Amino acid sequence: MKILADESISFVEEAFAEMGNVVAVDGRAITARALADAECLLVRAVTKVDEALLADSSVRFVATATGGTDHVDLDYLASHGIGFAFAPGSNARSVAEYVAAALLLYARRFDSALEGKSIGVIGVGHVGSRVVEIARALGMRPIPNDPPLQEQTGAPIYRPLDEALQADFVTLHTPLTRGGPHATFHLADRSFFRKTKKGIVLINTARGSVVDPAALTDALAAGAVRAAILDVWEHEPRVDPDLASRACLATPHIAGYSLDGRVKGTEMIHRAACEFFGLTPRWSPRGVLPPPAQAQLRCECSGAPDESVLLDIVSQVYDPSSDDARFREILGLADDCRRADDCRRADDCRRADDDRVAAFNYLRRDYPPRREFRFYSVRGGDLNTKVRIKLAALGFRESQ
């Protein structure tokens, strides 16, 4: 059996070798022609899976190693008897930890304590529910909003959108949907920003098109949004450099890119594929993941404010400002030619834009290994009880 796979799926060749001949390629280069004799297709979010791709293929099973499915035409797969699997929740911990690191970094940059602040969590699925836990761990007051879950459960913990938008921070964790009663395409539009508390901090780690970029740009310029932390972009890998330059923190869709989350995604679709094809899964991620380079962390932080201590510890594991710096570097490829439609040297602008696209893809493809907080221990002797409780809630272990 031929298995065509996105080469960026972690350990895809090792995991699926027992099932057949794995051909790993750039996910953006997966074409109908390449699929002609494949029975199994494994993708990530960069590959659009629809009738145009599959119509003349022999594909019997499709899996995406992602928690989102907006890049897959599920109706087409179902109507043609093609099996499907995805990896919901595989990177939820990673995204939530990105949000924690970004919040702490924002607090230091703007000298603004997180403790006691409110945060509207829009979408409370696998990721959003973890973000609610993270927010509580940081001493914040989460306001969860999830209309589908509220309708299903009737639980009063899910609050109306207007209430969530009055929080000090608003973080987006919805899927991208374009139809139905709870469509999220351009959810954060001009009307959305008119309803927010003035001077909010907006975080988007969901999908770029959940936010209307023009509306956000105007909201930032007007001060309706004080700061934006953006990991996802409409039309990525083509990113609007003007919006990125206005963001407090800008990263190239890597919030969920912990090595642990990526391998979990591979494991989930591997098991699903084996079940579909009637095979017994033999590959396991156990033993695949190396231990963290420095699993025991130190903090020389006697007398420092609690949130400063937390940031010093978290940044030893993951510092989003390093991703931000690399991202801004690639966006600065053509500072004198920011917009092709406004530039007399349009060919130069398009070349610069193509360079940015290539660099965006490179940053994601060659992203350095990042491990989750739970694999690290912190010497707690010099830490006060409050910090130690917060570290434990964030997932860190304590060592003596």
Mean pLDDT, consecutive 10-residue stretches, the chain (400 aa), reads: 95 94 93 92 95 94 95 96 96 97 96 95 97 96 97 95 98 94 96 97 97 97 97 94 94 94 96 96 84 79 83 94 92 50 48 80 89 89 86 89
Residue 293: per-residue pLDDT: 73
Q: Are residues 122 and 35 in the same domain?
A: no
Residue 73 and residue 96 share a domain:
no
Instruction: Tell me the H-state helices in 196-258.
Output: 213-222, 241-246
Do 340 and 364 share a domain, yes or no?
yes
Nearest one of 390, 297, 298, 312 to 108, comparing CA atoms: 312
- Position 285 in a domain: no
What is the residue whose two structure tokens read 């995805």?
86
Same structural domain, 245 and 96: yes
The number of folded domains in the chain is 3
**Within this chain, do residues 204 and 272 fall inside the same structural domain, yes or no?**
no
Do residues 49 and 32 make contact, with C-beta atoms less than 8 angstroms apart? no
> What is the span of the domain harbouring residue 233?
92-250
Same domain, 214 and 312: no
Query: Is residue 27 a part of any domain in this protein?
Result: yes
Q: Is the residue at 327 inside a domain? A: yes
> Is residue 211 located within the same domain as residue 269?
no
Give the domain-ending residue among 196, 215, 250. Answer: 250
Compute the half-sphere exposure of residue 316: CA atoms within 13 Å on the CB side of its CA: 20
User: Where residue 77 sits, what CATH number does that domain have?
Assistant: 3.40.50.720
For residues 111 and 234, membership in a common domain is answered with yes
207 annotated active-site: yes
288 within domain boundaries: no
Catalytic residue among 126, 173, 207, 262: 207
User: Does residue 187 sit in the same domain as residue 55?
Assistant: no
Q: Let me know if residue 318 belongs to a domain.
A: yes
Asked, for residue 200, whether it belongs to a domain, the answer is: yes
pLDDT of the residue at 351: 56
Is 236 labeled as catalytic in the residue annotation? yes
Give the active site residue among 173, 186, 253, 262: 253
Question: Residue 355: its pLDDT value, please?
Answer: 82
129 with 76, same domain: the answer is no
Q: Is residue 394 one of the residues assigned to a domain?
A: yes
CATH number at residue 330: 3.30.1370.170
Predicted pLDDT at 302: 65
pLDDT for the residue numbered 20 = 94
Give a yes or no: residue 290 inside a domain: no
> Which of these is catalytic: 71, 173, 234, 236?
236
Instruction: Please tell me whether residues 243 and 378 are part of one structural domain.
Output: no
CA distance 132 to 334: 39
pLDDT at 341: 45
CA distance 15 to 22: 10
Return the ∠ at Cα 67 (arms to 72 and 27), rounded to 5°: 55
Kind and range of the H or E element at 349? helix 346-365
Together in a domain, 81 and 132: no
Whether the CB-CB separation of 367 and 98 falls below 8 Å is answered with: no
